[in-house]
Amino acid sequence: MAFRNVVFAALAAFTLAGAAAPATAQTDRDGQQRWINIVNRSGVTIREFYMTDVDTRGWGDDRLGQEVVEPGDSLRVVPTPRQRARGYCQFDMKVVFANDRTVERRGVNLCSTTNLVCTSTGSCRTN
C-alpha cells in the first residue's frame, strides 16, 4: 500500500509540473506573454474567434477551429507563430456567437491584457 501511495504522489507531482510548463512556454523571445483568455459570461456559446495583429488586413482563420466556448467557460488563445515572431503587442479581435451576433475589439494590447470577458452578445471587455 505504501508503494502505491508513492506512485500516486509521483504521478501527481509530474502532472503538476507539466501543468505549469505551458505558461512558461508561452513567453516569447522578447519576454512578452502574448495570449488572451476568452471568458464567456454571456448566455450564448462563442462559436468563432478571430485575432490578427493591427497591421494585417482581414481576419484570417477562425482561431477556435473545432472548439467553442460555452457559457461559463474560458479558453486561452495564442497568436500564430508568424504573428508572435513579428513582435506585435496590438491585436484586433472578433468574437462570433452562436446566434450570429459579433463583437469586435480593436488594438487590444496582448502584452498587458490577459482576458477578453464577454458578458453579453454585445459586450466583450479586456482586463
pLDDT in tens, 80-100: 888 888 889 999 999 999 999
Domain span at residue 119 reads: 41-126
List CB contacts of 75: < 8 A, sequence separation 6 or more.
37, 38, 64, 67, 69
The per-residue DSSP string of 8-31 comes to HHHHHHHHHHHHHHHHHHTB-TTS
Taking the CA of residue 29 as centre, how many other CA atoms within 13 Å lie in the half-sphere pointing to its CB? Answer: 7
* Residue 82 placed within a domain: yes
What total of structural domains would you count in the chain? 1
Q: What is the pTM of this model?
A: 0.77
Q: What is the mean pLDDT of the chain?
A: 83
Rounded to a whole number of angstroms, the CA Rg of the chain reads: 18
* Residue 25 placed within a domain: no
CA distance 43 to 118: 10
